[in-house]
Amino acid sequence: MTPPACTAHTLTDIATALRADLIGDGTIVVNAVAHPLMAESADTLALAMDGSAEHALAQTRAISAVVAEGRGVALARLKGGIVVHRPRYALAQLLELFARPPVVHRGVHPSAVIDPTATIGTDVSIGAFCAVGPGTRIGHRTQLLPHATVGAGVVIGDDCLIHAGARIGDRCVLGHRLILQPNVVIGSDGFGFVTPEKGSVESARETGRVEATNREIVRVNSIGIVVIDDDVEIGAGTCIDRATVGVTRIGRGTKIDNLVQVGHNCTIGENCLIAGTTGLSGSVTLGNRVSLGGGVGVSDHVSIGDDAVIVARAAVATAVPARQVWAGYPAVPHREFTEQLFSVRRAPRLLRDVQDLKQRLARLEQRMAHGD
């Protein structure tokens, strides 16, 4: 198979799209981007926005490149190029021009099983072996890759991209322009259990000791749903539980990475960034534009304020105010964490210092006692 041809662009067009400076021949046409050493022909625009890639321009087969502001000189031996102000943002814009979207089946694949009461928009793509339940509505131009499961009474907006093996449970509501990576789970039941009498965890929380035993564990059914607003992206294998009663909500524009757990009844604001393997317990509230690093944990019922940044691997057990940076286990303000870390690293020396002080003090005391 020939891979689907990418769109071709002139350097002038690219510079315009990026609002960047063009240097040299703007009529050069490129149809791909690559690291300078991976550029196989003159059709490829070399990406040389960091030092090592720029260095590699000396050996590239490309005849044009993108470089960072102030580094236009690196384009000297090429026929043309583009100088960008904020390289990572420019990369995003470039990769919008040279996107490689997944190859999808046009229309509804004959093997798909779609309930006759489901409503399917125009220009959708529904791949092999997709299952769509009764009463579900799928918006225009939305694409389902193979093996997606969409339950009953689900709403999916327009222009969504649902990758292979995503599971969307009954009655969940998804906005427009969502991207769900492969094997995402939306609407699994919450981890809700209760003991008829006080249980071991409750007693441990109250007293620090186990003074009760969980003779019987009773399930708390999840009858709520998950609502995901527009422009959200959810990473591969990530699981978002439905609410016990009501809604687990992911706000507009929020991006969640792979293998993240979002517990029942969480409320996540707009434009949050949640990195991989992070876990949110039940009823966590994130404000808007909150950033959680990789592997963060947040205890149940904890709130994190707008624009807060939680450093990777922090374990958040108490409320975090807006615009603060927190780190640690348990998490504390970053300055405090840094101070603690410094102290811990100094601790071995401190032990020796105190040992020394004890000896010297004992000597002084002895001398005083002897009246020297």
Per the CB < 8 A criterion, the answer to whether 62 and 45 are in contact is yes
Residues in CB range of 341: below 8 A, 6 or more apart: none
**How near is the Cβ of 24 to a second copy at its closest, in Å?**
22
From 51, 77, 196, 319, residue interacting with a second copy (rule: CB under 8 A): 196
**How near is the Cβ of 279 to a second copy at its closest, in Å?**
4
Interaction with a second copy in 34-93: which residues (CB under 8 A)? 34-35, 38, 47, 86, 88-89, 91-93
313 binds a second copy (CB under 8 A): yes
What is the C-alpha separation between 144 and 146, in angstroms, rounded?
7
Q: How, if at all, do strands 29-30 and 9-10 pair?
A: antiparallel
> For 232-280, where are the E strands, in sequence order?
233-234, 239-241, 247-250, 255-256, 261-262, 267-268, 273-274, 279-280
Residues in binding contact with a second copy, number by CB under 8 A: 146
Known catalytic membership, residue 109 = no
Of 7-15, 21-29, 59-67, 101-109, the window that binds a second copy (rule: CB under 8 A) is 101-109
19 binds a second copy (CB under 8 A): no
157 binds a second copy (CB under 8 A): no
From 61, 135, 141, 230, residue interacting with a second copy (rule: CB under 8 A): 135
330 binds a second copy (CB under 8 A): yes
What is the C-alpha separation between 262 and 278, in angstroms, rounded?
9
Helix (H) or strand (E) holding 55: helix 51-55
Amino acid at 346: R
- Provide φ and ψ at 94, rounded to 5°: -60, -45
372 binds a second copy (CB under 8 A): yes
What is the C-alpha separation between 174 and 149, in angstroms, rounded?
14
121 binds a second copy (CB under 8 A): no
Interaction with a second copy in 227-286: which residues (CB under 8 A)? 233, 235-237, 239, 241, 244-246, 253, 255, 257-259, 261, 263, 271, 273, 275-277, 279, 281
8 binds a second copy (CB under 8 A): no
**How near is the Cβ of 26 to a second copy at its closest, in Å?**
23
Quick one: 123 or 339, whose CB is closer to a second copy? Answer: 339
204 binds a second copy (CB under 8 A): yes
- Provide φ and ψ at 356, rounded to 5°: -65, -45
**How near is the Cβ of 123 to a second copy at its closest, in Å?**
20
What does DSSP assign to residue 137? E
What is the C-alpha separation between 204 and 10, in angstroms, rounded?
66
Of 23-31, 60-68, 71-79, 165-173, the window that binds a second copy (rule: CB under 8 A) is 165-173
Of 57-65, 66-74, 75-83, 354-362, the window that binds a second copy (rule: CB under 8 A) is 354-362
From 163, 268, 304, 320, residue interacting with a second copy (rule: CB under 8 A): 163
| Annotated catalytic residue, options 105, 140, 264, 370 | 264
What is the C-alpha separation between 97 and 282, in angstroms, rounded?
40
Closest CA to 307 of 327, 331, 291, 284: 291
From 58, 99, 122, 370, residue interacting with a second copy (rule: CB under 8 A): 99
217 binds a second copy (CB under 8 A): yes
343 binds a second copy (CB under 8 A): yes
**How near is the Cβ of 178 to a second copy at its closest, in Å?**
12
CA distances from 138 to 145, 154, 233, 310 (A): 14, 8, 17, 36
Cα dihedral sign, 325-330-336-340: negative
Residues belonging to the active site: 264
